[in-house]
Amino acid sequence: MARLNVNPTRMELKRLKERLKTARRGHKLLKDKRDELMKQFLDIVRENRTLREQVEASLIKAQKGFAVASAVMSHEMLTQALLLPKQSVSVEMNFKNIMSVDVPRYTFHMKTEDASEIFPYSFLHTSGELDDAVQNLSDVTVQMLRLAEVEKSAQLLSQEIEKTRRRVNALEHFMIPQLEETIKYITMKLDENERGNLSRLMKVKDMMIEAQFAGKND
């Protein structure tokens, strides 16, 4: 592991030790965040899967219904019947905070509450198959909305998890070893200097004593 390019001074050592402490703390926190995110994510994604299976099955059924309806009715009649809807749908978007990720929550709003308003035509010129098809489709809408909510949440969470995982790994496998290596290098260098200094002092002392003896003998 490459060490940082710093001067081996006590100042630097103190600074690096502080940084290592912060990095370790950050690593622990991010790891906790990742684990909790993962837990939430798995719950959501499981729901996503079952919901998608249900919605897909129901929609295929509804689409088949429309195919049958268009077979028994003329194309123009069908288009005309559905062209001008009475019902109008809009959603309100709120946010829910999951581990500091904002995920959307939708609330459905219909223009009219009356359930029969999904049929924008008079029953005189249309076939019963069309009624069934529209009804089937209408039954799926609540689930479809929930699917949108869950699937978007899963996508947003997966993005956040990916980000957090990268950070955790960067700290664990790069930042922290690098700091440790540098701290070790500085400590060794400082110790070496200390020893060098000490032996120099001892040498000087020897020389001074020798010089004294030499003076006495004269």
Partner 1 sequence: MYKVSVLGDRESVLGFKALGFNAVAVDDAETAREKLHELAEEDTAIIYITEQLAVKIKDDIDRYKDDVRPAIILIPGKDGTLGIGMNGVHATVERAVGADILDN
Positions touching partner 1 (CB under 8 A) are 38, 41, 45-46, 48-49, 52-53, 55-56, 59-60, 62-63, 66-67, 70, 78-79, 81-83, 85-93, 95, 102-104, 106, 109-111, 118-120, 133-134, 137-138, 141, 144-145, 147-149, 151-152, 154-159, 161-162, 165
Distance CA 9, CA 215 (A): 41
Q: Which of residues 30 and 161 has its CB atom nearest to partner 1 in the complex?
A: 161
User: Quick one: 23 or 134, whose CB is closer to partner 1?
Assistant: 134
CA dist 52 → 109, 136, 154, 211 (Å): 22, 16, 13, 95
- Residues near 47 by beta carbon (within 8 Å), at least 6 away in sequence: 150
Smallest gap from Cβ 70 to partner 1, in A, equals 7
DSSP type of residue 175 = I
Smaller CB separation from partner 1, 2 or 93? 93
> Rounded to the nearest whole angstrom, what is the least distance from the CB of residue 62 to partner 1 in the complex?
7
Output the smallest distance, CB 1 to partner 1, in A. Answer: 24
Instruction: CB nearer to partner 1: give 19 or 165.
Output: 165
Report the residue number, 42 or 204, with the smaller CB distance to partner 1.
Answer: 42
Buried/exposed 98-128: b ≥16 CB within 10 Å, e otherwise? bbebebeeeeeeeeeeeeeebbebeeeebbe
Q: Can you state the angle between helices 176-217 and 10-72, rounded to 10 degrees?
A: 170
> Shortest Cβ distance from residue 122 to partner 1 (Å)?
13
Angle between helices 75-83 and 128-170 (to 10 degrees): 60
Q: Give how far Cα 151 sits from Cα of 20, 38, 89, 97, 181, Å.
A: 39, 15, 20, 15, 44
**Beta carbon of residue 128, minimum distance to partner 1 (angstroms, whole number):** 15
Least spacing, CB of residue 46 vs partner 1, in Å: 8
DSSP per-residue codes, 20-55: HHHHHHHHHHHHHHHHHHHHHHHHHHHHHHHHHHHH
Nearer to partner 1 by Cβ, of 133 and 183: the residue is: 133
